[in-house]
């Protein structure tokens, strides 16, 4: 039987359950255990791909094409565990599976009910993951007491009752600082534990989130009032970077406590290499402009931001991000808006909104030799810009923005044009890409051993309906926008670049390399892009 660590949250949402779960999973992995993770989400939607990034944060994409919550990205990045559809389960998925299953003949004759059918399904998911791992970290979305999450708590109660020695529950909740009276308040946390007790679950561990120094005696009080052992009440203070959290947890022996609680063998935690990564000296700084539709919403581009952080740490530079709202950009303000950036990213996206602004920014970056990385829609916009302003195809466009455009330099993938089902119907997941020898991208990937198979092919994740129209490749190449990678089976255009003797870094990729980036293995294209941006900054500062 595997061991289970159930992580839930109290008082408010956004207390960092995801980062706490990922950090615990990572530390246990570093102790040599085979760890997996699952998130139970109380919401009804079954597919994060159709949810708005403004409301829900970015849609994180897995290797198997599952479009999911950003928390799974956090787990991949921090714990280094590859996520897939088995690692997320929403209420909607459970209901859908049960209802569709019955329509097909499962549970015939039975009246489907939340108990036992949904609660059993939840426990089955836990058991299934446990078949291939020693420890499963399970995060329950939302906050204890939410009406919609009750079924998950009931399932956990039953699961814990059946497997008492193998399940521990961790609650992450804040101790609040009330500025008007300058006092800490533990009462909301105490009440959250009480709510958990009402479900018949007593937590074995509390991770108390605090945003400032807090007197130790308050943890004694929390222990007294909640019945959680004093040695299991841990301070979990805000830190500058999520990557610092595993180190904080390690220093506080949170992993030791989990191991003892679950009666696992004590082994040493090989965290030193990781620590060294974070302690790399910072010698310089760089400012990257990100021009997207949701420029005011950090979480809408979370993986992108993290991929930049990984590369900045790799190069020992401090990263500044300038968010540029695409809808506000035009030919007049572009120079002023981009004057302080050392590199420009146009990220992935959907629909026409802000596209003209993105194209203006790309043009400025191309003409002024500002390093540019276009991701998915970013590549497609770069192709439109290049067609219009370099190849003189004035009416070039994407079929996504102008259905009957005369010059569809970006067009629908075969079978995608008239697709009616919006959920999980794009070209999704990891696909391989053959790199063209001698290109900048070939060099960048081949310098990253973990990504390189010596056969010139790499693999990245995709999420798109349109592609660069291969009919225009000849004219692009003639004018200096070259093919640097293509799909070996379908020949689909994967990466394009302007050669380095004409532009220091101008690359567009149909894939989303940000999804596979991590602290210990930063994405090669991001590494190259950040290096080029730092170079540009150095040259400009020298001139001044
Ligand atoms: N909307 C474009 C497409 O579907 C780009 C998608 C993306 O950026 N992920 O092809």
Q: Which of 62, 208, 376, 391 is catalytic?
A: 376
Please state the rounded mean pLDDT for residues 378-396.
97
User: What is the pLDDT, as a whole number, of residue 176?
Assistant: 95
- Residue 142 pLDDT: 93
Whether pLDDT at 295 is above 80: no
Residue 304 confidence (pLDDT)? 96
Torsion-angle region of 229 (φ positive above 0: left; ψ -120 to 50: alpha; else: beta): beta
Q: Which of 376, 411, 431 to mutate to test the pocket of ligand 1 (most atoms within 8 A of CB)?
A: 376
Beta strands in 301-346 (DSSP E): 317-325, 343-346
The whole-angstrom separation of Cα 167 and Cα 165 is 6
Residue 435: pLDDT band by 50, 70, 90 thresholds? very high
376 annotated active-site:
yes
Going from the Cα of 474 to the center of ligand 1, the distance in angstroms, rounded, reads: 23
Instruction: Kindly state the tokens that stand for 212.
Output: 């400032």
Identify the pLDDT of residue 377.
98
Asked if pLDDT for residue 172 goes beyond 90, the answer is yes
Known catalytic membership, residue 337: no
In angstroms, the CA 385 to CA 365 distance is 11
> What mean pLDDT, rounded, does the chain reach?
95
Would the pLDDT of 544 be above 80? no
Substitution site in 61, 350, 511, 514 for ligand 1 pocket (most atoms within 8 Å of beta carbon): 350
- Tell the residue nearest (CA) to atom 7 of ligand 1: 348
Q: Is 106 a catalytic residue?
A: no
For the chain, the 3-state helix, strand and coil shares in percent, each to the nearest 5, are: 40, 25, 35
Note the pLDDT tens digit of each residue in 395-434: 999 999 999 999 999 999 988 888 888 888 899 999 999 9
Taking the C-alpha atoms of residue 121 and residue 271, their distance in angstroms, rounded to an integer, is 36
Specify the residue with its C-alpha closest to ligand 1, atom 9.
Answer: 348
Average pLDDT, stretch 480-489? Answer: 96
Give me the pLDDT at residue 200, please: 96
> For residue 510, how far is its CA from the centre of ligand 1 (angstroms)?
8
Contact 187, 194 (CB under 8 A): no
pLDDT digits (tens, 9 = 90+) for 143-162: 999 999 999 999 999 999 99
- pLDDT at site 238: 94
Q: Cβ distance 78 to 19 under 8 Å?
A: yes
- pLDDT at 542 (0 to 100): 85
Query: Omega into 203 within 30° of 0, i.e. cis?
Result: no
Residue 184 has pLDDT above 90, yes or no: yes
Q: 46: pLDDT confidence band, cut at 50, 70 and 90?
A: confident
Please report the pLDDT score of residue 54 as a whole number.
Answer: 83
Ligand 1 pocket: which of 49, 58, 348 to mutate (most atoms within 8 A of CB): 348
Q: What is the mean pLDDT of residues 332-361?
A: 96
User: What pLDDT is stored for residue 425 in this prediction?
Assistant: 86
Task: Confirm if 510 and 517 have CB atoms less than 8 A apart.
Answer: no
Give mean pLDDT, residues 175-181.
Answer: 95
> Which residues surround ligand 1 with Cβ inside 6 Å?
348-350, 376-377, 400, 463-466
Mean pLDDT of the 188-214 span: 95
The Cα–Cα gap between 28 and 98 comes to: 34
Mean pLDDT along residues 448-452:
87
pLDDT tens digits, 87-124 = 999 999 999 999 999 999 999 999 999 999 999 999 99
Q: Give distance in angstroms: CA of 463 to centre of ligand 1.
A: 6
Cα–Cα dist 429/416, whole Å: 16
């Amino acid at each position: 039987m595997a061991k289970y660590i159930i992580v839930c949250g109290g008082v408010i949402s956004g207390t960092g359950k995801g980062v706490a779960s990922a950090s615990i999973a990572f530390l246990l992995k570093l102790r040599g255990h085979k760890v997996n993770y699952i998130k139970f989400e109380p919401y009804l939607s079954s597919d994060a791909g159709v949810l708005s990034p403004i409301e829900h944060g970015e849609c994180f994409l897995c290797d198997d094409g599952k479009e999911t919550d950003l928390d799974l990205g956090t787990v991949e990045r921090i714990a280094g565990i590859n996520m897939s559809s088995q690692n997320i389960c929403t209420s909607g998925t459970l209901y859908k599976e049960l209802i569709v299953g019955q329509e097909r003949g499962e549970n015939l004759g039975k009246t489907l009910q939340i108990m036992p059918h949904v609660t059993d399904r939840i426990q089955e998911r836990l058991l299934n993951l446990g078949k291939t791992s020693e420890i499963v970290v399970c995060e329950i979305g939302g906050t204890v007491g939410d009406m919609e999450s009750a079924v998950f708590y009931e399932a956990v109660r039953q699961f814990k009752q059946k497997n008492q020695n193998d399940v521990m529950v961790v609650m992450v909740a804040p101790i609040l600082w009330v500025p008007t009276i300058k006092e800490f308040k533990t009462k909301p946390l105490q009440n959250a534990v009480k709510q958990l007790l009402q479900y018949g679950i007593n937590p074995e561990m509390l991770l108390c989130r605090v945003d400032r120094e807090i007197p130790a005696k308050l943890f004694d009080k929390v222990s007294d009032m909640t019945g959680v052992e004093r040695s299991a009440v841990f301070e979990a203070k805000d830190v500058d970077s999520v990557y610092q959290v595993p180190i904080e947890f390690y220093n506080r022996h949170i992993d030791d406590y989990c191991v003892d609680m679950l009666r696992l063998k004590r082994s040493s935690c090989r965290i030193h290499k990781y620590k060294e990564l974070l302690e790399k000296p910072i010698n310089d700084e760089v400012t990257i402009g990100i021009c997207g539709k949701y420029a005011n919403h950090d979480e809408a581009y979370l993986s992108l931001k993290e991929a930049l952080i990984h590369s900045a740490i790799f190069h020992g530079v401090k990263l500044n991000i300038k968010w540029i709202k695409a809808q506000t950009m035009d030919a007049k303000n572009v120079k002023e808006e981009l004057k302080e950036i050392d590199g420009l990213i146009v990220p992935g996206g959907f629909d026409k909104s802000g596209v003209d602004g993105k194209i203006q920014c790309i043009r400025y970056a191309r003409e002024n030799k500002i390093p540019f990385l276009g991701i998915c829609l970013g590549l497609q916009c770069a192709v439109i810009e290049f067609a219009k302003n370099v190849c003189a195809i004035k009416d070039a466009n994407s079929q996504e923005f102008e259905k009957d455009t005369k010059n569809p330099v970006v067009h629908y993938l075969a079978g995608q044009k008239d697709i009616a089902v919006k959920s999980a119907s794009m070209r999704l997941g990891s696909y391989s890409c053959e790199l063209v020898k001698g290109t900048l991208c070939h060099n960048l990937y081949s310098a990253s051993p973990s990504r390189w198979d010596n056969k010139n092919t790499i693999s990245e994740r995709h999420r798109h309906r349109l592609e660069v129209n291969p009919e225009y490749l000849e004219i692009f190449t003639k004018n200096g926008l070259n093919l640097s990678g293509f799909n070996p089976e379908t020949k689909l255009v994967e990466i394009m670049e302007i050669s380095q003797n004409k532009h220091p870094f101008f690359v567009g990729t149909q894939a989303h390399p940000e999804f596979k980036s991590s602290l210990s293995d930063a994405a090669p294209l991001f590494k190259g892009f950040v290096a080029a941006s730092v170079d540009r900054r150095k040259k400009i500062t020298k001139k001044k």
